[in-house]
Amino acid sequence: MSKQPAKEAAPATPPPAPAPAPGAQPAEEKKPEKKEKPKAPKRRVQAGKLYKVDGGSLSRLRKECPRCGRGYFMANHKNRLTCGHCGYTTYTPKA
């Protein structure tokens, strides 16, 4: 009996590299130039300006937010007081 040699697996030929589509150019990485804006320094609440210590008593210079409670002061605008926390606004009558 002649033993048939095991069928050799056809050598796997790597598929040809896909030809680049005609007309397709290598994507040029073009990034729009970003202009860096100078950032304004973040405003911080100046706690020292919210309170006034008079001798042994402490008084608040800003109105407190009725919604948020203590510690939340209303920002003093020209014609209104606004809470930066919840957005509560009261309009002050024109003087």
Residues that bind Zn ion (CB under 5 A): 65, 67-68, 72, 83, 85-86, 88
The angle at the Cα of 63, spanning 59 to 60, to the nearest 5 degrees, equals 10
73 three-state secondary structure: strand
The residue among 39 and 70 lying less far from Zn ion, judged by its C-beta, is 70
CB of 25 to Zn ion, least distance (A): 57
The residue among 16 and 69 lying less far from Zn ion, judged by its C-beta, is 69
The residue among 72 and 75 lying less far from Zn ion, judged by its C-beta, is 72
47 three-state secondary structure: helix
